[in-house]
Amino acid sequence: MILAIMTLAVSARARSSVAFREVMTTYHAGTGEDVKRTIDGWEASPKGWSVEPQFEQAQTAIFVAAEPIEADLLNLTMFFMSGRPNASFAYFSISYTTDAQPGFQSEWHDLPMFNFGATTSNLRRGPGNRLIADEVSYIVTGKIPDNMIWISARTQRKAITGFRIQVYPVVRNEGLLRGPAMSWSRDRDFVLTEFRVEVVSTTTNVALGAPVTATHPLYFEFEKMTADALTDGWPSTIAHPSEDVTGKGFHFEIDLGTERAFDHLTLRQRGDTFNLDRFGKMRICIYQQDPKEGAAPTWQVLNRPDGSYPAQGEADILRASNGEGVFHGRYLRISTENPVPLSPMLAEVEVYETRTARLVSLKADDRPLGVGSELRIPPGALRLAFQWEIPQSGKPYDRLYRWKVAGVNHDWQTSDSLLLEIPCPPAGEFQVEIQAAHSDGTWDASVLRLPFTVSARFTQTAAFLWLIGGVTLLIGVLVSRYFARRKIARLEAKSALSAERSRIARNMHDDVGARLAQLAVLQDVFAREHSMAPAAKSDLAALTAHTREAMVSLDEAVWTVNPRNDTLSSLAAFLMQHADHYLTPLGIACRLDGPNTWPDVPLRAGIRHEVALAFKEALQNIVKHSAASEVELTLRHEAGRFIIRVADNGCGFPEKTGGPGEDGLINMRQRLESIGGTCAWLPRENGGTLVEMKLPLS
């Protein structure tokens, strides 16, 4: 019984067409080129294989495949699209051969058809695996009813090399059309315009096309139900017992042909909304031996014992854990304990055997490796190539399996190729996991787990690490000793330099300083004890002043050279003392602002010297050019910098450049920049100038 709301499951699968290289016939009308049109890939044609006027005896056509065909399922389609009404086979059969060179004398076998149909005629099975097409009456409407015949067959992966179509005459008894004929057309001839075979390799359902029997007649109303509807691949067909048969004692039996290990069973509900409750309380039993001979089931389950049922078009998937026993066998029996009349009722029964991938070969960078119990990858490999095999029948078109490598990626990755290439992981122990796919979208319950070890380079081994650690330790000791010696040498040199600087400073102060002081005193005594002309007395006074200035300069030089003054606090004290001693005698008030304590920051003599000279230049510019009466000196230690601000209340800078003191300002900036600092001068809001010097203390 066919439900119009459902679609053909087999036709929805992905297919690939078979190529044919030759067509042989016992007889054909027309030319050899007309016969070749049946394998040219075009469905419609005014010519093809026809046999007029040879209608008295059977005629044969043999289609030779270009390559042997190995597939589980085949779809055969015969097109009769010549534009001549009813010009299609009336009575015919199809067989196949596996001979290397197909011919009329080859060994031919009946094609195991499990589904067939036609577009414009009713097709039914006759004796000897032949098919009979009933005559179709039609009203002329201006549209010619061309016909197509399709057949689905399960071939169990035989290497098919050719197909044979045998067309038998039928007897016509109407008026002028009396006598033998090859079709129901007015001219009694057929025109086969195209013969096409498509490989359907996307199903892993091993029950597809399997023979089904029932213990009692099935229900029929418009047309008789057949038990084969449960394995015909059409979820739009249903089967259930007739009205005079109770559920008790009735069962369907499916013969899978060979014993198989099951992964899961799928029981499909009918696709419309009628009598869905006949699905509940079905008992499914699996047998290894023929149950007709009294064998006990190896596995069984009472599905939906509460009498519930899936929604229309839905399915129940049963696995080993749903029942009791060993989940493998050859025979499948379906009975019911459901009190609902006309039970059990199903649309389709699918059986999926366990699919477990197997490792065929393994390569590391195109280098073949052994595939024994222990997989060891040599060091330095960049890529691994696993070649898998799934020996069970069927091949889903969208994905073959999913995989992951434990320790590398945690998420499953799908693949449609049996060659799996991955980057080689780092040295360590890993495990690749493979789980095969089924054509119904489920994953097989079995998972292949293969551990493998990636060998480490010598440079990655523990011995090498210990060696590197020892060498590193030795080098560290030697380097430490070297730098310790250098540090000691530097400290000794620094100490010697400091001692030498202290000696020079002491000698300059004790010797040169004493002599200059003595010279200044003698000049004063000479001026008092000797009468001199006013001009001479003035010159001697000037000489005495220069001598005292030389003494001050000598003190500053001694301060610079003396290592005891190589600190920030010493520099700050010097600057404040110098500003007070320099400005106060000139009648310029000096206000000092600085912290009471300074951090212990060392400063080289060269840095102190440049800062002191720049500071003195700033004071000289104030005295010479600003006409200031007050100077404010601010010293700070902020954010790792020494900051000197000298502000006066003088006349400020002239508007034009090139004025007095510009060279001094440039010198100040250059001195600070030479030691990594900055110098800037800005006008003050209330008049005067601010000179700001900043020195990083790193």
Matching residue, tokens 């400073």: 505
DSSP letter at 603 equals -
Q: How confident is the model at residue 13 (pLDDT cuts 50, 70, 90)?
A: very low
- Rounded to whole angstroms, how far apart are CA atoms 460 and 555? 67
**Cα 108 from chain centroid (whole Å):** 51
Residue-wise pLDDT for 413-469, tens only, equals: 999 899 999 999 998 899 999 999 998 989 999 999 999 999 887 776 677 777 788
- Rounded to whole angstroms, how far apart are CA atoms 405 and 372? 19
**Cα-Cα-Cα-Cα dihedral of 374, 379, 383, 389, to 10°?**
-10
454: which strand partners? 377, 428
Residue-wise pLDDT for 155-189, tens only, equals: 766 789 999 999 999 988 776 667 899 999 888 99
| Bigger pLDDT: 243 vs 323 | 323
Q: Residue 355 in contact with residue 446, Cβ under 8 Å?
A: yes
**Cα-Cα-Cα-Cα dihedral of 324, 329, 331, 337, to 10°?**
0
- Rounded to whole angstroms, how far apart are CA atoms 576 and 592? 7
Q: How confident is the model at residue 4 (pLDDT cuts 50, 70, 90)?
A: very low
Predicted local distance difference test score (pLDDT) of residue 6:
30
Q: How confident is the model at residue 507 (pLDDT cuts 50, 70, 90)?
A: low
Q: Residue 300 in contact with residue 285, Cβ under 8 Å?
A: yes
Predicted local distance difference test score (pLDDT) of residue 492:
64
Q: Residue 405 in contact with residue 448, Cβ under 8 Å?
A: no
Residue-wise pLDDT for 616-639, tens only, equals: 888 888 888 888 899 999 999 988
Work out the average pLDDT over 96-124. Answer: 91
Work out the average pLDDT over 232-256. Answer: 86
Work out the average pLDDT over 564-583. Answer: 84
| Bigger pLDDT: 23 vs 465 | 23
Work out the average pLDDT over 203-213. Answer: 89
Work out the average pLDDT over 601-623. Answer: 86
Q: What percent of the chain has pLDDT over 70?
A: 84
CA-based nearest residue to 355, from 286, 266, 261: 261
Is the pLDDT at 99 greater than 60? The verdict is yes
Predicted local distance difference test score (pLDDT) of residue 523:
62
Q: How confident is the model at residue 481 (pLDDT cuts 50, 70, 90)?
A: confident
> What pTM was computed for the model?
0.55
Is the pLDDT at 311 greater than 80? The verdict is yes
Q: What mean pLDDT value characterizes the chain?
A: 85
- On the 0-12 / 13-18 / 19+ scale of CB atoms within 10 A, 123 is middle
Is the pLDDT at 325 greater than 70? The verdict is yes
Is the pLDDT at 614 greater than 70? The verdict is yes
Residue-wise pLDDT for 429-444, tens only, equals: 999 999 999 989 899 9
| Bigger pLDDT: 489 vs 341 | 341
